[in-house]
A and B are shown apart, each in its own frame.
Chain A
Amino acid sequence: MIWMTILLAGLVTFYLRYSFIGHSQRIQTPEWFRHALRFVPAAVLSALVCKALVYYGGTLQMTPSNERLLAAMVAAGVAWRTKNVLWTTVTGMLALWVLQALGL
């Protein structure tokens, strides 16, 4: 079952990437669709990040004592300033470890 899932997920992923590159001459997309595509990265990536901040280890952790939320705020400051993946990740991890060590 896992092998079939991998194969199907791979085909879908390939087709999403190939779609317009492969058929650019034949596809006519409605205008609202092209408008919607512009917001996909911001909406999807932000949803991925925010979900992972409050839902981990199989439970919802939407409390003020969630260290990940605090560490994420520190990392968000770095991400906003630098747009740099490496520095954001390093800062956020260090912030989390410090907060965990302090037991806040």
Chain B
Amino acid sequence: MALPREHTQSVASQSISDVWPSLLGVVPFGLITGAAGVSAGLSVLQTMASSLVLFAGAAQLAAYQLMGSGSPVLVVVLTVAVVNLRYLMYSASLAPYLAGWKLAWKVTGAYIMVDQLYALSLHRFREERFSSPLSRWVYYITGSALTWVVWQVAVWIGAGLGAKVPPSWSLDFAIPLSFMAMVFASIRDRPTAAAALVGGISAMFAATLPYNLGLIVASLAGIAAGMWLERKRLS
């Protein structure tokens, strides 16, 4: 499995040059997430522990908000599961490319899975120079680890600055904004557009349901709409 050292280095630097533009978005998102944890009433330690354990921005934000308002454990865990359901899909579509990975690589690769590296890896792994399990591992882990470090530092700084940012700045608005580009990137055809449209509109009308249940109901409605439209097109 040994690869020439030059090859490993070129794969690693490819990963860095692919991932760095997205780090510009990771920094403000991490700062806001850290600040949100502290302003929801959690300590800096609890905010950081969640960040290290979860390593998932949207889920962290949802969890901070719910834990801060004293929601039951089951509600927090279920909400985190729903918000993170997309990782199940990432896992399913990455799996065929990672078949030759060692167990330790799979475990760390799963823990450190992020949207950016998922998308970049799927794109790169179809190239010949990424055909060996080791080169795929080096590519995936280099970009992911860089994202991980930048994210954790940003959350930590955000938690430290925390409540010092006045609410009139409306910095919490940057969170839905930072996901907006990902929504549009996930729309590839009419059925996925329908999923986004129905999911979004139902979420507005279901927003006041308790325990963040509106998010679950709206997501399921969006998925159902996408499946329905796809089936209609195929038949």
Q: A79: shortest Cβ distance to chain B, in Å?
A: 4
A48 B215 Cβ-Cβ under 8 A = yes
Given contacts A46-B200, A88-B177, contact A18 B107 (CB under 8 A): yes
Interface SS, A side: helix
A83 B181 Cβ-Cβ under 8 A = yes
* Contact among B87, B111, B222 with A47 in the assembled complex (CB-CB below 8 Å): B222
Interface SS, B side: helix
Q: B233: shortest Cβ distance to chain A, in Å?
A: 12
Q: B53: shortest Cβ distance to chain A, in Å?
A: 3
Given contacts A38-B226, A40-B85, contact A17 B73 (CB under 8 A): no
Q: What CA separation (Å) do A19 and B89 show in the bound complex? A: 10
Q: Which residues of B contact A10 (CB under 8 A)?
A: 50, 53-54
Q: Which residues of A contact B95 (CB under 8 A)?
A: 20-21, 24
Q: Which residues of B contact A68 (CB under 8 A)?
A: 170, 173
Q: B129: shortest Cβ distance to chain A, in Å?
A: 22
Given contacts A36-B223, A37-B92, A51-B207, contact A85 B182 (CB under 8 A): yes
Stretch from B8-16, B150-158, B185-193 that touches the partner: B185-193
| Interface membership of B138, Cβ < 8 A | no
* Contact among B50, B99, B200, B227 with A35 in the assembled complex (CB-CB below 8 Å): B227
CB proximity to B under 8 Å, residues A4-25: 4-10, 12-14, 16-22, 24
CB proximity to A under 8 Å, residues B188-202: 191-193, 195-202
B208 A43 Cβ-Cβ under 8 A = no
* Contact among B49, B84, B173, B197 with A71 in the assembled complex (CB-CB below 8 Å): B173
A54 B204 Cβ-Cβ under 8 A = yes
Given contacts A60-B208, A84-B181, contact A13 B191 (CB under 8 A): no
A88 B219 Cβ-Cβ under 8 A = no
A21 B86 Cβ-Cβ under 8 A = no
Q: B7: shortest Cβ distance to chain A, in Å?
A: 24
A14 B110 Cβ-Cβ under 8 A = yes
Provide a sorted-by-A list of 26 A–B residue pairs whose CB atoms are within 8 angstroms: A2-B42, A5-B67, A5-B73, A9-B63, A9-B76, A10-B54, A13-B81, A17-B90, A18-B91, A19-B91, A19-B92, A38-B192, A40-B88, A42-B186, A43-B222, A45-B182, A47-B214, A47-B215, A50-B199, A60-B208, A71-B173, A76-B180, A85-B178, A88-B180, A89-B29, A89-B178
Name the 5 nearest CB pairs between A and B, nearest first: A43-B222, A85-B25, A10-B53, A39-B226, A43-B199
